A and B are shown apart, each in its own frame.
Chain A
Amino acid sequence: AQKVTQAQTEISVVEKEDVTLDCVYETRDTTYYLFWYKQPPSGELVFLIRRNSFDEQNEISGRYSWNFQKSTSSFNFTITASQVVDSAVYFCALSEADNTDKLIFGTGTRLQVFP
């Protein structure tokens, strides 16, 4: 069975601090996809990244970076120099390679960035 665990329910940091959001997944598939979504207070879901299981390269996009490690079944998300606008709930999700329309979500991590 597939499962995504986000053990951190809520994280609070002060602006400019770096913060890492953890994501651990379980799947029996050898090919799968991992995602991160951001849900700001306004409620919409914003796609951040999609990574397939064949690509373990870390990815950086501005202040965001992702560390994918198959050996530990983790796909962690780091925000460098956090800003108040980063305050949101962040979801990690998993899908089978041939079934990308079915996402299994973690329970989310609420990040609060204080000025």
Chain B
Amino acid sequence: DAGVTQSPTHLIKTRGQQVTLRCSPKSGHDTVSWYQQALGQGPQFIFQYYEEEERQRGNFPDRFSGHQFPNYSSELNVNALLLGDSALYLCASSLPGSSGNTIYFGEGSWLTVV
């Protein structure tokens, strides 16, 4: 049973460019959340997708957008990259419903903006 998979694992972009990160949730999970984790910090919630719609959003600018596909996989897009966007981007999946459900994280995508 594959867990949460993310791609690419590492990438380097130039300031002003755009980036797309991809995520496949754990088998059977239909809810996908994205987090940004800067070095030495805890993850910060970006947004969550369920049934192909953005269900909730954290305190991130509109440069951060996403999409969920019918197979529950998801993309995170960041436009007009800034140096401060350099971070580990984590995708997490879970089952809907109980707030006690385990949240499974992928290995993350390391984004470096130069």
A and B are partners in one complex rather than unrelated chains: no
List the interface of chain B (C-beta within 8 A of A): none
List the interface of chain A (C-beta within 8 A of B): none
